[in-house]
Chain A
Amino acid sequence: MTYAVQTMVDAVSVGALYAMSALGIGLLFGIMRLINFAQSEFVTVGVYTLMLSAGLWFPFAALLAIVVVVLLALAVERAAFRPVRDADPATLLITSFAVSYLLQYALVLIFGARPIGFDLLPQLGQPVLIGEVRIPRLNIVTIVVTVVLMAAVALFLRRTRIGIEMRAAAVDFRMARLLGVRADRVIAVAFGLSGLLAAVVSVLFAAQTGTASPAMGLQLALVGFVATVIGGMGSLPGAVLGGLAVGAVTVLLQAVLPPDLRVYREAFVYAAVIAVLVLRPQGLFRSAAMRERV
């Protein structure tokens, strides 16, 4: 029983991290049809910023990471993606690959390829005892932060004009522009927001792993792409639910699989993803009536 509860909490906290990654990726994907591999480096750069500011007052370090990553996301949009915005998806994709490669090796150049260990908020590692159940503080923090941030993003997307413009752009960018929605502004805000999400992910991720290494964001980005697509393309709630689902399935597989198959856990997760793509091409969380628009 306690084991089951611990596993559930684990599943939700991993899912929460994935959900935030997926939302950042889903925003850009919905609006620009961009599979942004550089999202991975947004997270990684956040972790390195935290590593550098280790020892500073934590809220300040976290704020610094957010500022750095948001500025990075805006700069990348301006310098790399704006010039090729109207090109076909292959070109956009290779652009994002190239940006990701550039940032990753810039980190290698500055910090070297070896992982660097650091301790972000060591007190988060201690578990909380709730009855019989021991739950790591970090899991609770992850879940709380995710819930708060998601609520804030949801409010932003529902209550503000630019938020409504972004939701419209994510489902039908051309129509949004025909109504006067400015492409430049919406895309810049989307990059900024996805930078913000990546930065928050980087704080939680850094607390979890305690290391900084140049390619550490890749796994999160991959999950983000997958979650966006299985959640239903262009649907932001779908991306979030998709992220939660992938995270939960990953943790549950870890618990359920026999030990010698556990190392193949990711393979099972991705096989499930392919099954979803084939069986529910409109996405897990959408009715069949809302198939991909032409």
Chain B
Amino acid sequence: MSLLAVEGLTVKYGPIPALRDVTLGMAEGETLAVVGANGAGKSTLTLAIAGAVRPFAGRITYDGNPLAGLLPEEVTRRGIALVPEGRHIFEGLTVEENLLLGLTARADQASARGALDDIYAAFPILLERRGGLGTRLSGGEQQQLAIARALLSRPRLLILDEPSLGLAPIMVDRVYAILADLRRRGVTLLLIEQNPGRIGEVADRVIVLANGTVQLSGPAAEVLASERLGAAYLGETRGAA
């Protein structure tokens, strides 16, 4: 059974459509990568699923229930966590305070302290820097903080928007190692990337988005090997790989 189903999703900013008639589905435990050029509508897709922008048309169903009309905080409380592009570490808050905010959406607060300890075990750098300001961390450390913060809500579906953007290669390695680990542990991942270079390591399936529409979709190996990948990026093709 699919965990997330997006059907005919259209989102407009003013008169300009950012997404047009996008349909996709995700099974529990699956990792889906959405790739596309700058402005293809990838971030809009994540924000629409998270309830932060209102769809113009179409429906989004999660775990069998429609998400229409839910506030972002309610969507998060149902088990969808978004790590948005740019990480959004809170200025003026310490690393630990940033993490505590990740616990807000948890249903059972009793296990919160244990969850924080688990996160510190998995991300030792955050334990080391827990009392310092989150914005003082390096880019890669901030990305780890953003992911850790999202994980603290114990999501069933984790959405990551460009987690490797602007990071040094060694940090990209670290981020992808974390993603691979999450995948092994059965977390459903929706991964957004501009550059398809690394997604083969983690993605089960891949969707190529251009001009707000799905250009190409299929199993990761096929899409990434497809000779139409380049054309799909430019929005010059439609269909399956």
Contacts of A266 in B (CB 8 A): none
Contacts of A165 in B (CB 8 A): 101, 104
Size category of the A interface is 20 to 34
Q: A residues 175-228 with Cβ under 8 Å of B?
A: 175-183
Instruction: Output the least CB separation between A87 and chain B (Å).
Output: 14
Contacts of A178 in B (CB 8 A): 50, 52, 72-73, 76, 81-82, 84
Size category of the B interface is 20 to 34
Contacts of B77 in A (CB 8 A): 180
Say whether A174 contacts B52, CB under 8 Å.
yes
- 18 additional contacts (CB under 8 A) given A171-B91, A179-B149, A179-B153: A164-B100, A165-B101, A165-B104, A167-B93, A168-B90, A168-B98, A172-B90, A177-B52, A177-B76, A178-B52, A178-B76, A179-B76, A179-B101, A179-B102, A180-B76, A181-B101, A181-B104, A183-B71
Say whether A180 contacts B90, CB under 8 Å.
no
A235 within 8 A of B: yes
* Count of CB-CB pairs between chains A and B under 8 Å: 71
B198 within 8 A of A: no
Contacts of A290 in B (CB 8 A): 91, 135
* Contact with A168, one of B76, B81, B101 (Cβ below 8 angstroms): B101
Q: Give Cα A165–Cα B93 distance, bound, in whole angstroms.
A: 10
Contacts of A235 in B (CB 8 A): 91-92
A114 within 8 A of B: no
Say whether A177 contacts B93, CB under 8 Å.
no
Q: Give Cα A188–Cα B81 distance, bound, in whole angstroms.
A: 25
Say whether A164 contacts B101, CB under 8 Å.
yes
A-B contact pairs, 9 of them (CB 8 A): A164-B93, A171-B93, A172-B91, A175-B88, A178-B81, A179-B104, A179-B153, A180-B153, A181-B101
Say whether B73 contacts A183, CB under 8 Å.
yes
Question: What secondary structure prevails in chain A residues at the interface with B?
Answer: helix
Q: A residues 144-179 with Cβ under 8 Å of B?
A: 161, 164-165, 167-168, 171-172, 174-179
Q: Given the known A-B contacts A182-B73, A183-B71, are A175 and B92 also in contact in the complex, defined by CB atoms under 8 Å?
A: no
B28 within 8 A of A: no
Contacts of A177 in B (CB 8 A): 52, 71-73, 76
B105 within 8 A of A: yes
4 closest A-B pairs by beta carbon, nearest first, are: A180-B105, A175-B88, A180-B76, A180-B104
Chain B residue with Cβ nearest A290? B91
Contact indicator per residue, chain A 228-241, by CB within 8 Å of chain B (1) or not (0): 00000011010000
Q: Give Cα A237–Cα B92 distance, bound, in whole angstroms.
A: 10
Contacts of A176 in B (CB 8 A): 90, 101
B97 within 8 A of A: yes
Point out which of B77, B82, B97, B135 has the most chain A C-beta atoms below 10 A from its C-beta. Answer: B97
Contacts of B102 in A (CB 8 A): 179
Q: Give Cα A179–Cα B50 distance, bound, in whole angstroms.
A: 10
Contacts of B81 in A (CB 8 A): 178-179
Instruction: Output the least CB separation between B146 and chain A (Å).
Output: 9
Instruction: Output the least CB separation between A130 and chain B (Å).
Output: 37
Q: Given the known A-B contacts A164-B93, A180-B73, are A172 and B104 also in contact in the complex, defined by CB atoms under 8 Å?
A: no
Q: Give Cα A179–Cα B150 distance, bound, in whole angstroms.
A: 7
Say whether B50 contacts A171, CB under 8 Å.
no
